[in-house]
Amino acid sequence: MSWIYEKNFEVRDYECDLQGIVNNAVYQNYLEHTRNSFLKEKGPDLKALHDQGIDAVVARIEIDYKFPLRASDNFFCRLAVKRDGELKLVFNQEIVLKDSQKLCARAKVVVVCLENGKVSMPKVIIDSFSEFLE
């Protein structure tokens, strides 16, 4: 995988649950924040798209949990993106501990765009991200 974007994080205590590890749902927060930060840096952000009538939504997500994140862990989340057919964007993402480079989670996220409620691949998306699409 040729990663094109990376974002640093630190586990916040409130993200951990009874078992003393980061709750599974919170990984999706990290994955989403990484994708949205990528969008914001490289083109129109989610809010700007929403205001133009375009919503980028997750159609499918697969996450393999490999090793638990714990309180105060420093980690990064990286991504690669490619088109899948006419209408889908597929993000491959990994969550990796900073010091040990241990893989904590691997995800595949399928995103589609809704333009005024209909699935489409808006020109603004292609124009902004074409250089990154594998």
List of residues contacting a second copy (CB under 8 A) = 12-14, 16-21, 23-26, 28-29, 32-33, 36, 40, 45-47, 50, 55, 57-65, 68, 71-72
As given in the structure block, the two tokens for residue 73 are 């862990």
Extended strands (E) in the chain: 5-10, 54-65, 74-84, 88-97, 103-115, 118-120
R_g of the chain computed on alpha carbons: 15
Q: For the chain, where are the alpha helices, taking DSSP H only?
A: 24-42, 46-51, 123-129
Q: How far is the CB of 89 from a second copy (least distance, A)?
A: 14
Q: How far is the CB of 108 from a second copy (least distance, A)?
A: 9
**Cβ nearer to a second copy, comparing 62 with 131:** 62
**Cβ nearer to a second copy, comparing 2 with 62:** 62
What one-character DSSP code corresponds to residue 85? T
β-strand partners of 84: 88
**Cβ nearer to a second copy, comparing 49 with 96:** 49
Q: How far is the CB of 67 from a second copy (least distance, A)?
A: 11
Q: How far is the CB of 66 from a second copy (least distance, A)?
A: 9
